[in-house]
Structure 1
């Protein structure tokens, strides 16, 4: 029993759910601190890999170049110590740059490396003393929150002015000194700084892609919650409307036709009991599911989150196993979106089983997913089995019904 107002109510309910879901997707989590753009960036798998790659490939090279320059250019033990301090300041700046928080050590590293260049140019005769300032400056300037171009110009001017100080303090300055203390240091600084600007843009793009992927995954989970809310509305909305009408009818019949009123009350009782049963099934993922529909939904969710999906159909799934396998697929999809940093998911369908493998699984502890534990018990009751394990950064979820598959398991 329905009325013409029910569709309008459902539409309003869906609009409200969308508004709530939208606020939940984009509102900051309670207690989460806002992370400015130029403070330590959000840790992500891509940024961690890039950081490790930079440290592995470039840090030894930069340190070796600095050591060679000290060995060649230092005329005394004091020169070697001072130049070593400059190289150390550059290495600290590089390491913190790779970690994403070079601005935290920018001032002391710049001060130390500038002082070393001043010592090498004005107080000593070490034209390679600008090396520490070069390494520090080219990693700090592109990370400045604003006026980066002005910072690049200021860095080149500092190198040039300090280098020119050697010409002023040296009584026998020649063209070679101009080249060694002004032209070469300033030119190298300008070139390397110019290269670092597009490099920083690359890192910004990587960070934005990671953030976009996380937002897509959150939106996919929100869409799944909306689908759950829609199913709940389908179950309870119609029932409550019918109960309201039957209750009003029973009130009218309670004196005029007691038997009919009693019948209406029995129907109300049965209807409410059935609704409670369906709600429990929905809450514990036991509602009848269509495996094909769940597979299509999982593909859409993964693709929306930027995750590649591969589906292998080794055989047509037995209809008797389809419902429970659909529940396994739905629960696994939710777990991947919420708990993994997956980039690829492979789904394999057999006659009586399903296997889902995803990458991006972190940690070595045994997985603990309450939904999968509940499904494992249900599959065991029906003669099936469910396996969930993590190895080498990959998470495998496999469910099968050996008896339906003629003894073959996944």
Structure 2
């Protein structure tokens, strides 16, 4: 936090090309706050991803299954009208497949089932085609897998229908029972089971892709929420501290205005510098340029405590780890604000080491640690940074201690 006299930690203002009145970001300018469109995958992007998967599936499955269906049709058809009926089943199956890949089978599901369910008995009882179940297996598997309920019963019904129609071949065939059971029951039923399994796995894959997209969207939304909380916490650190100090110094200036006009003018000048510095810091926060200086925070805390009539002692046992300097500065700033606002302190001791900082003050009220939202938020941030923030209150003394792991290599710097 800036010192009351602005010494050593005035920050240069950085006007932006998109700055609005007063130097703050204008509406629509880019700040650290993320918009919803920047934070999560948009519906258009999701549709694009799904569209690519659909086109890939169509490019692979339609030619493959179309070729297989054509070869089976040619092999099993003896007359043109048999070929026409079997070809109708293949066309219907490929049509339903195309709509399934596009996730829109509601319009073709029932007609497709009726047609392919009729082609299989035709192939079994009329044309003697034991491969006519190929189309029914594809359409039936797609319809069954996309049922919202009772999929197991529907799958069992499909398999039982294929097997029963195949077994009906025994009524019109002169071939041996074993030959009929293998070609018209066992193989078509096995094909239906395998197709069901393949379509089910493919459906699971699509569902997994959807869940991953949703998870990514939730993760992005969570990141935005965390950024907003961090921004609000930093804004509280800057302006909450400043406003309280301004309140104290304004009250002091009012007392001095008749007794010591020169000292009152000095206090008002410091208030002006403090407010100007806070405006600068707020702009830096908005543009993600703000950095705390631990040495400046120590000097500032010392000046504030002395201005409030509090005796302060600073022990610098070692220089803090530069990687932790900014976080320790935040701890010191928040603690300073809390002491000025909530304690009747007369003495404060600040101890800085290479692993952290300890601030102890007297004049603590009550016997239990008060609920301080700023410290609670800061505790989480210190933990996220790999450290630990502890607060203790005992016999009128309040201690705030932030500690991080010892820097690699040890020793003082």
TM-score by length of 2: 0.52
Q: 1:117 aligns with which of 109, 120, 141?
A: 120
Q: 1:64 aligns with which of 61, 67, 91?
A: 67
Partner of 2:310: none
RMSD across aligned C-alpha pairs, in angstroms? Answer: 3.6
Establish whether residue 246 from structure 1 lines up as the match of residue 249 from structure 2.
yes
Q: Is the 1:163–1:182 contact (alpha carbons within 8 Å) kept by the matching residues of 2?
A: yes
Distance (whole Å) between structure 2 residues aligned to residue 289 and residue 237 of structure 1: 16
Distance (whole Å) between structure 1 residues aligned to residue 74 and residue 173 of structure 2: 26
TM-score by length of 1: 0.53
Q: 1:284-295 counterparts in 2 under 5 A?
A: 284-288=287-291
Q: Structure 2: 5+ residue runs without aligned partners?
A: 2-34, 294-413
Q: Tell me by how many angstroms 1:147 deviates.
A: 2.3
Q: 1:250-399 counterparts in 2 under 5 A?
A: 250-288=253-291
Distance (whole Å) between structure 2 residues aligned to residue 280 and residue 133 of structure 1: 67
Q: Taking structure 1 as reference, are residues 105 and 228 closer, same or farther at Cα in structure 2, changes over 3 Å only?
A: farther
Distance (whole Å) between structure 2 residues aligned to residue 289 and residue 239 of structure 1: 15
Partner of 2:18: none
Deviations 1:167-209 (A, max 9, x none): 44x3757534444333322222123323444444344334433
Q: Structure 1: 5+ residue runs without aligned partners?
A: 2-23, 34-40, 291-410
Distance (whole Å) between structure 2 residues aligned to residue 207 and residue 62 of structure 1: 26
Q: Is the 1:103–1:140 contact (alpha carbons within 8 Å) kept by the matching residues of 2?
A: no
Q: Which SS does the other structure have where 2:290 is aligned?
A: coil
Distance (whole Å) between structure 2 residues aligned to residue 268 and residue 123 of structure 1: 100
Partner of 2:150: 147
Q: 2:219 aligns with which of 216, 219, 222?
A: 216
Q: Taking structure 1 as reference, are residues 214 and 44 closer, same or farther at Cα in structure 2, changes over 3 Å only?
A: farther
Q: Is the 2:77–2:127 contact (alpha carbons within 8 Å) kept by the matching residues of 1?
A: no
Q: Is the 2:253–2:268 contact (alpha carbons within 8 Å) kept by the matching residues of 1?
A: yes
Distance (whole Å) between structure 1 residues aligned to residue 157 and residue 121 of structure 2: 16
Q: 1:233 aligns with which of 229, 232, 236?
A: 236
Deviations 1:273-302 (A, max 9, x none): 221122122223343599xxxxxxxxxxxx
Q: 1:138 aligns with which of 134, 137, 141?
A: 141
Q: Tell me by how many angstroms 1:64 deviates.
A: 0.3
Q: 1:391-410 counterparts in 2 under 5 A?
A: none
Query: Which structure is higher in helix share?
Result: 1
Deviations 1:316-369 (A, max 9, x none): xxxxxxxxxxxxxxxxxxxxxxxxxxxxxxxxxxxxxxxxxxxxxxxxxxxxxx
Q: 1:67-82 counterparts in 2 under 5 A?
A: 67-82=70-85
Q: Which SS does the other structure have where 2:131 is aligned?
A: helix
Deviations 1:77-101 (A, max 9, x none): 3322222221122212322333344
Distance (whole Å) between structure 2 residues aligned to residue 70 and residue 289 of structure 1: 78
Q: Taking structure 1 as reference, are residues 164 and 279 closer, same or farther at Cα in structure 2, changes over 3 Å only?
A: same
Q: Tell me by how many angstroms 1:155 deviates.
A: 0.9
Which fold has the larger relative contact order, with Cα–Cα distance below 8 Å and residues 6 or more apart in sequence?
Answer: 2
Distance (whole Å) between structure 1 residues aligned to residue 149 and residue 65 of structure 2: 27
Which structure has the larger Rg? 2
Deviations 1:110-149 (A, max 9, x none): 2222122233334544332222111112233233323222
Q: Is the 2:134–2:191 contact (alpha carbons within 8 Å) kept by the matching residues of 1?
A: no
Partner of 1:187: 190
Distance (whole Å) between structure 2 residues aligned to residue 59 and residue 172 of structure 1: 36
Q: Tell me by how many angstroms 1:42 deviates.
A: 5.3
Distance (whole Å) between structure 2 residues aligned to residue 241 and residue 104 of structure 1: 68
Q: Tell me by how many angstroms 1:239 deviates.
A: 0.8
Q: Is the 1:142–1:197 contact (alpha carbons within 8 Å) kept by the matching residues of 2?
A: yes
Q: Taking structure 1 as reference, are residues 98 and 274 closer, same or farther at Cα in structure 2, changes over 3 Å only?
A: same
